[in-house]
Amino acid sequence: SRAYSLVDSSQVSTFLISILLIVYGSFRSLNMDFENQDKEKDNSSTAGSFNGNSTNNSIQTIDSTQALFLPIGASVSLLVMFFFFDSVQVVFTICTAVLATIAFAFLLLPMCQYLTRPCSPQNKISFGCCGRFTAAELLSFSLSVMLVLIWVLTGHWLLMDALAMGLCVAMIAFVRLPSLKVSCLLLSGLLIYDVFWVFFSAYIFNSNVMVKVATQPADNPLDVLSRKLHLGPNVGRDVPRLSLPGKLVFPSSTGSHFSMLGIGDIVMPGLLLCFVLRYDNYKKQANSDSCGTPGPGNISGRMQKVSYFHCTLIGYFVGLLTATVASRIHRAAQPALLYLVPFTLLPLLTMAYLKGDLRRMWSEPFHSKSSSSRFLEV
């Protein structure tokens, strides 16, 4: 009851939305893998050869070096935003709006494909040097541009949340963790990054750098443009300042405060959940190919049926709940990754060890050892 009293409706909304975004982004990523496999099969059958290393160029895989330096790069970006926000806020707002437009179009694409399927064939329309696009892609991009324009004009928090959701899903779908080792390096480094900038930055910079950057609104580009062009006092001056879509915010039932969760606290654990979902599917296919070979003899059949994805997702929920309760008890911002990383990584490592998959998951579990022999057979 004590924990329940420390969680209000805004935090419940944050829980549900963040979990739905992670699940949806993970399954979009898995679906992209299936589509790439189908394309590879079609290409191999038509070309008469097999290329086991062909991948989608739009997918970015994080290696160990990138995982180690990502917290450092994030720290530099945070300091730039802290010290030079007034100078770069317009550029940063425009870049964020462009990225959010593309990401939200990606979020809307399945719905638009469903709506346009009965009306038009999935043929691509040429736009010259801009490329070729289907009717669903054009519709999703048009709706996304319209939403971004309304957000710029109104600055409403709900539209900002929609753009942040698109960014979360796109990052989870297009960024991959290749192994458990890279996952541990990345999440451990980001945990240190989060703890330092939330708890210790005030001792050095006399201000909580993370909270100030996350909550500082930016000047509206329309207002800046009207002042630069001297369009008059009534042109573009009534637009609000913009809170950038780097977080999810939900108002409380009383409207006295907002519950806030950074998209990094959704995306980074979401990359881990995407990895374990892909591994669950990989292991399922491997077991079906080997005619259902049983796991280690010291593990019960019930334990073998528990998927890594469900285990890690439950850990994410418990970690998010713990972070929320801690923030209400201490009445201060908490580094969410301080709770999310242990509650997701430790159960995953324990289950992988008990199932006997830890060695395989630790280093390049999706690398096909038989690719070379298969190439020779073809």
Helix (H, G, I), strand (E, B) or coil at 176: strand
* Tokens read off for 32: 């992209």
Among 8, 33, 161, 265, the active-site one is 265
The per-residue pLDDT of the chain, averaged, comes to 83
pLDDT at position 245: 87
Mean pLDDT of 312-324: 92
242 strand-pairing partners: 218
Task: Tell me whether residue 194 is one of the annotated catalytic residues.
Answer: yes
**Cβ pair 195, 340 in contact under 8 A:** no
DSSP at 235: S
pLDDT tens figures, 319-356: 999 988 888 888 888 899 999 999 999 999 999 998 88
- Which candidate, 309, 300, 321, 320, places its Cα nearest to that of 347? 309
Pairing verdict, β 60-61 and 132-133: unpaired
pLDDT tens figures, 233-257: 665 567 888 888 889 988 876 666 6
pLDDT at position 235: 56
Pairing verdict, β 175-176 and 60-61: parallel
Other Cβ atoms within 10 Å of 239 Cβ, number: 17
**Cβ pair 349, 358 in contact under 8 A:** yes
Give the burial class of 339: count Cβ atoms within 10 A of its Cβ; 0-12 exposed, 13-18 middle, 19 or more buried: buried
Helix (H, G, I), strand (E, B) or coil at 50: coil
**Separation of CA 105 from chain center:** 15
Task: Tell me whether residue 280 is one of the annotated catalytic residues.
Answer: no
Q: Cα–Cα distance between 100 and 38 in angstroms, integer?
A: 29
**Cβ pair 164, 248 in contact under 8 A:** yes
Q: Cα–Cα distance between 8 and 318 in angstroms, integer?
A: 16
pLDDT at position 127: 74
Which amino acid is present at 345? L
pLDDT tens figures, 22-34: 999 999 999 988 8
Q: Cα–Cα distance between 22 and 182 in angstroms, integer?
A: 19
pLDDT at position 72: 95
113 Cβ neighbours under 8 A, 6+ residues apart: 122, 134, 136
Residue boundaries of the structural domains of the chain: 9-40+59-119+130-259
Mean pLDDT of 42-60: 56
**Separation of CA 208 from chain center:** 24
Q: What is the pTM of this model?
A: 0.86
Among 8, 33, 194, 357, the active-site one is 194
122 falls in which pLDDT band (50, 70, 90)?
low
Count Cα atoms within 13 angstroms, Cβ side, for 185. 18
